[in-house]
Amino acid sequence: MRWIIGLMFVAAFGWGAYWFVGSGQKEKAVETWLETRHASGWVAEYGDVDVKGFPNRFDTVVQDLALADPRSGWAWNAPRVELLTLSYKPNHIIALFPSEQIVSTPLQNISINSEQIKTSLVFGDLTLLPLERFTTTLAKTRFASNAGWNATLDSGLLASRQSAKAEFAHDIAFDAAGFRPSTELRRSVDASGILPDTFEKLHLSGTAYFDAPWDKAAIEGEKPFLSRIDLDDGNAIWGGLEVQAKGSVNLDMLGYPTGSLRIRAKNWKDMIALAENSGALEPTIAKTMRSGLGIVAALSGNKSTLDVPLTFKGRKMKIGPVTIGDAPKLNNR
């Protein structure tokens, strides 16, 4: 019995020593990373770093965090961030974000207020930290931009995992419930106020192909280049309007897409009318679309539902046979 008690005492002492050494290393690693970012030209400010959770967790809490990457023009400010890790599973991190934070882009500052934003991240090795998968959940979230728009979300889920389709590819899915776009966006799309405030459904799933892994080097330096997107399922329902999409596009070196998506649009004439009334479509283009797409819909046997390709070529977009405008740029490199 004394041997058993002695062994238990040694084990407890050894585990306690492991935790205290590990917690010190965790704290030092976070501080070193922030100081290295600062030395490389970033804004990297913080108030305090503390590690808690004895005996089975390493819960790292960073206060008053401010990060800004001068190369990309992106920045992030948060009063408190928690990184929760089981002491025996260090490659799996749960990140808890504060109820208020600010994300800045080269074009605008976005204030994010939420009841909860939580991210689960699983990495490969602990040196390069290649991202294997993550899941982010949001609850009762409001986005407000200094560019003059705001939007709210009852709940949302964004998930990504390494794909078996290609090296560096990630399968990505997004679902939103209770998404309310800004008043300005609703008015610009629907000047007559026909559409409801809230989307009934917003879902996207597919695969994004990159030229390098998302790892520690990607965060600290040049971001991986997005070279291809496979959209397996896109679905949005807003009032009587419903759009489904699937297909693939490749991105050129400047980030412009080429390829096509198959679009199925319910009540497509109402969509054209809304776009024309809002000024998003010129009357001449709207008239051409009604005429050209009307023939396509009639041939399908259902005049209210359109099933056509959305084609990207030469930095232009076409729905069926009708050119509707410039293609978007999807990469900023």
Count of domains observed in the chain: 3
The whole model's pTM is what? Answer: 0.85
Q: Are residues 208 and 260 in the same domain?
A: no
Q: With respect to residue 245, please indicate whether it lies within any of the assigned structural domains.
A: no
Q: For residue range 242-298, what is the model confidence (pLDDT) as tens digits?
A: 999 999 999 998 899 999 999 998 887 888 887 777 777 788 888 887 887 777 777
Residues 128 and 234 occupy one common structural domain: yes
User: Of 216, 239, 262, which residue is a domain's last?
Assistant: 239
Position 244 in a domain: no
In a domain, 117, yes or no: no
More confident of the two residues 269 and 82: 82
In a domain, 111, yes or no: no
Domain boundary pick from 106, 141, 157: 106
What b-and-e string marks burial along 298-315, b requiring 16 or more CB atoms within 10 Å of the CB?
A: eeeeeeeebbbebbbeee
Q: How many CB atoms lie within 10 A of CB 229?
A: 19
pLDDT bracket for residue 6 (50, 70, 90): very low
Instruction: Please state, in angstroms and rounded to a whole number, the distance separating the CA atoms of residues 176 and 155.
Output: 6
Quick one: 127 and 220 in the same domain? Answer: yes
Same structural domain for residues 221 and 281?
Answer: no
- pLDDT tens figures, 129-171: 999 999 999 999 999 999 888 999 999 999 999 999 999 999 9
As a whole number, mean pLDDT of residues 24-44 equals 86
Residue 16 reports pLDDT greater than 70: no
Q: 3-state DSSP call for residue 215?
A: coil
Does 59 lie in the same domain as 166?
no
Residue 13 pLDDT > 50 = no
In this prediction, residue 299 carries a pLDDT of 65
Report if residue 115 sits inside a domain: no
Position 65 pLDDT exceeds 60: yes
d(CA 256, CA 312): 9
Residues in Cβ contact with 7 at an 8 Å cutoff, skipping those fewer than 6 apart: none
Whether residue 21 is predicted with pLDDT greater than 90 in this model: the reply is: no
The pLDDT score that the predictor gives to residue 7 is 46
- Whether 139 maps to a domain, the answer reads yes
Domain boundary among 40, 73, 106: 106
Do 188 and 262 lie in one domain? The reply is: no
Range of the domain at 49: 1-106
- 181 within domain boundaries: yes
Q: What is the pLDDT of residue 300?
A: 65
Predicted confidence (pLDDT) at residue 190 exceeds the cutoff of 90: no
Q: Euclidean distance between the first and final Cα of the chain, in Å?
A: 67
- Enter the tokens of residue 34: 């922030």
pLDDT, residue 304, reads: 78
Q: Look at residue 180 and give its three-state secondary structure.
A: strand
Whether residues 128 and 101 fall in one domain = no
On the question of pLDDT at 8 being above 50, the answer is no
* Residue-wise pLDDT tens digits, 210-241: 999 999 998 888 889 999 999 999 999 988 88
Helix (H, G, I), strand (E, B) or coil at 3: helix
pLDDT band at 57 (very low <50, low <70, confident <90, very high): confident
| Same domain? 190 vs 264 | no
Q: Are residues 213 and 266 in the same domain?
A: no
pLDDT surpassing 70 at residue 20: no
Q: Do 195 and 139 share a structural domain? A: yes
Percent of the chain with pLDDT over 90: 50
| 173/195 same-domain check | yes
Rounded CA separation 174/137 (Å): 10
